[in-house]
Structure 1
């Protein structure tokens, strides 16, 4: 009896009211935080400096401990530092970009999608390898986001595509140097082609080229 009652409450107008109210509160706080950060030009430069120090320390620690028996240290450290730099390079423009329609930050819009449906947000951000990804709920949520903030959804799609591309390249570069030959064979199972949620589920409206990872 508990599961049906729980589902009934989740779908009730009261639950929707509390969820919408909570999302508005979080988005308001998020907007203020991004505004404070982005209004100070020096913050982005300091973030870059922090990332430089962080990726050197993090890559050294991971490669010297967790991956020490799997990947030669020098190759591991270099590969991970390149990946982390590219990751930062893709993320930085997203931080302070704004929607021309709503005045919201694109990162704020991204968090809003996550709060509305974590499951759909994951589908928006990971490569599409199956048509099952196109659920009616997620298609509706993405279409609504496109209507409200078309620039930010294009930015988010590009962001997801680039992150997937560099992550797959990072995995190939790392695994190619694996000490165990059998583990190097795992590269053959990594996808070479992928599509974004927009490309797979929303038709040809996207301006991005189909994702091809080489």
Structure 2
């Protein structure tokens, strides 16, 4: 096991950070690549050429690997998805001690079929959103105990959306949270509820 593997296994104490404009440009290019990768059929030669180009970039970037909590991806609040390509391009719009509102959209990369966002993307989004609520409330590091999503309507791509998550109740280490995602006309697209549990000192 390498030092990097140890860093990944350890619970990262994530702290927000800033990043240069060049990282924002890189993440925009990454998101564009993700969308293109699922919406193109260029043929064998270009597939190989594209793979070679991407492999070259991977080789160059791997020389600068950083451990969890040090690499900026996922910690840059001013970038969509906090600068993490796994997260959809949403950002915090409003925050209170018990509530966080996010705004953003989904793209072709997130499509499950017929232009609708894949059902599995929404739990990922809500898990991330609930983590934002934990941070806004000043709670210690927590893990998701459960997360339930009710799908009310098809979630569209490339349309501005809003999601509000809030603390429903607190019981010791347990933080019960709820959320609602809506379109710009106020239609409820999905709702979620979950349980976030404060970690004990020995828990990863």
Q: TM-score by structure 1 length?
A: 0.26
Q: Which protein has greater RCO, CA pairs closer than 8 Å, 6+ apart?
A: 1
Structure number with the higher helix fraction is 1
Q: TM-score by structure 2 length?
A: 0.27
Select the structure of larger CA radius of gyration: 1
